[in-house]
Amino acid sequence: MDIKDNDRYKMFNRRAAMMSVGGLGVMGTLFGRLYYIQVLEEETYKGLADKNSVRLEKLAPVRGRIYDRFGTELASNQSNFRLVLVPGQTQDIEQALDNLGEVIEVSDGRRERVLKAAKRSRRFSAVTVMENLEWEDFAKVNIRTPDLGGITPEAGVTRDYPFDSDLSHIVGYVAAPNESEIDEDEILSLPGMRIGKDGVERFIEAELRGQSGNRQVEVNAYGRVIRELKREDSTPGKDVILTLDMELQSYAMKRMEGESGAAVVMDIHTGDLLALASVPGFDPNDFNLGLSQDTWDGLRNNKYKPLLNKAIKGQYPPGSTVKTIMALAALEAGVMSPWESVYCGGVTRLGNHDFHCWKDHGPVNMRTAIKESCDVYFYELAQRLGIDRIQSICNRFGLGQVFDFGLPGEKSGVVPSRGWKIANIGEPWQQGETLIAAIGQGFMLANPLQLAVMTARLANGGKAVEPRLIRAVGSEAMDIVAPPSMGFDQSQLQVILDGMNAVSNRAGGTAYGSRIWEKGMELAGKTGTSQVRRITAAERAAGIIKNEDLPWERRDHALFVAFAPVDNPRYAISVFVEHGGGGSKAAAPIARDIMHKTLIKDPSKRRAIGPVAQTMKAPSPATEEG
């Protein structure tokens, strides 16, 4: 070997040695790292691996059911075949929807909603694709599930309202939560979740919804569930029992069919609402399943306002129905006696204004004025009574109040006063406004529930009973509080009740044509007709245009309130017919028929379901003072 070859050999050996040392260093670092991960940090990385393979999922609760007082199911749960999509389980959501479209129809609108929802949701949170599928479509999807990449069929439950429009304003309805509601409670993002949007469903949403559960599942690298590791079941919502009698409710709705208005039937001692009808209604199932635009437009643009619960949210002049409590206020204040006579010539003059009566009654006393609904008598009464006492008696009988009895959205109406007019109109009170307030016109507004409460308080001996709709929630019965006395002289109250009896059961009474003939079932009532327009002098000179000759929107409202039986009162009723014309013609016959049905059924005497009937609690001292 020459010198040059020897130098090359030595250089090669040095380079080989350096490469060996470098390789050994790299291998040592690699093995050191593996030792660190697998031995020294074993527990840490083992835990991380477990977390990656275990997922916690929320479980939706089953919504509580709603019943009437006798066990008729008013809101129930039925099978809901649906499809859900987990975005993290597919690489192409649009392709997954295309594949689904080859099995069942997927509209462009639905496709757009799913894509939008998928972008907002978490990677492994389920997004609803379709709900309430027919069994045939659900079965088709089940067969093709392996080809649908991330779309999974599920069998859940959905809300069902078997009585459709008969209960739309009471039970209300559920619908999918909006984004702001989901942000407040993550459980609402689960497929199929619904929340109460109106009625009882909304009023006691928390109790009906229940509590969510959860489960731990092991998933593979694609997010598919391999097995369930642990489960904590959800707590179903509580069942709710209402005071309603469903048979009576359906009858009231049927009897008012074709009208726009409301009817309220109430137990005068317990406050139980036995019927709370508002017509027309709507089908609450449409809101749960999804309203079409045509259906929504039809509801919103209907002049009879089917979405408005007229029994508690409608505000109307109560008309002559309030003459009963005006007369009682006059007796209590000592400004009129029952036997004092006032002459009615058909008009009262005050300053430069004439205040008319609907006819010339001649001389009338208090009983006759109630029986024949004489306005002139009550104009005189109003001047002696004054607006302050009128306001006070209205408030004591429930007008101008919100009872918070089991439904959201109650309106208080208006009981006008000096302070109210200054605050709302910016003008001082005028004496003429006192006159028309005494006959339930002018600024005064009330809803049919308030008029039923007013009538119940008259019929039960002057006790401040309040309405109630919810009888029990789960195993807890709602207490019945004994209504406190309002302190009226019973002999004075009897004068008013005798006048109401004459309205219905004496010839010449404004509702004599709508009396109940069966002995022991007689009702006592008061008609009311409230104007929605001002009658001009020219119209009066021409004999006044009849309601039936006017467009519907310009006709008077018709009202009637009553209690029965006369000799031993148990039930009160109020009926309001929007633009119905006269109370004696439009409202009284409806009230008679509904009350007759109530008396035949006599629901207060039948055993109701649920927790053991509560004993009547005595009112607290604070309540007693009121």
The C-alpha atoms of residue 246 and residue 625 are separated, in whole angstroms, by 36
Contacts of 395 (CB under 8 A, 6+ apart): 401, 415
Number of neighbours of residue 10 by Cβ within 10 angstroms: 10
192 vs 187: CA distance, rounded Å: 11
Q: What is the pLDDT of residue 387?
A: 97
Cα–Cα dist 89/217, whole Å: 15
CA 465-471-476 angle, to 5 degrees, is 120
| 261 contact partners, CB below 8 Å, separation of at least 6 | 278, 279, 310, 448, 558, 575, 576, 577, 578, 580, 587
The whole-chain average pLDDT of the chain stands at 86
Tokens of 543: 């004999």
- Cα dihedral 363, 365, 369, 374 sign: positive
558 CB-side CA count, 13 A: 26
Cβ contacts of 402 within 8 Å, gap of 6 or more: 410, 411, 412
The Cβ-side half-sphere exposure at 123, using a 13 Å CA radius, reads: 9
In 3-state terms, what secondary structure has residue 615?
Answer: coil
Instruction: Say how far apart CA 480 and CA 276 lie, in whole Å.
Output: 19
Residues marked as catalytic: 320
Place of tokens 């209590």: 332
Residue 295, exposed/middle/buried by CB under 10 A (0-12, 13-18, 19+)? middle
Phi/psi-derived region of residue 617, left when phi > 0, alpha when psi is between -120 and 50, beta in every other case: beta
* Start-to-end C-alpha separation, the chain: 126
d(CA 177, CA 194): 6
- How remote is the C-alpha of 89 from its chain's centroid? 40
Write out the two tokens for 79.
């099978």
Low-confidence ranges of the chain (pLDDT < 50): 47-48, 51, 613-614, 618-626
Q: Which helix (H) or strand (E) holds 601?
A: helix 588-601
535 DSSP assignment: P
pLDDT at 625 (0 to 100): 31
Supply the pLDDT for residue 79.
76
Q: Return d(Cα 413, Cα 315) in angstroms, integer.
A: 6
Instruction: List CB contacts of 19: < 8 A, sequence separation 6 or more.
Output: none
The letter for the amino acid at 96 is A
| pTM (two decimals) | 0.83
In DSSP notation, 336-405 reads: --TT--EEE-SEEEETTEEEE-SS--EEE-HHHHHHHT-HHHHHHHHHHH-HHHHHHHHHHTTTT----S
Q: What are residue 362's DSSP bridge partners?
A: 344
With beta carbons less than 8 A apart as the criterion, state whether 86 and 223 touch.
yes
C-alpha closest to that of 504 among 527, 525, 535: 525
| Domains and their CATH numbers in the chain | 56-238 (3.90.1310.10), 246-279+311-625 (3.40.710.10)
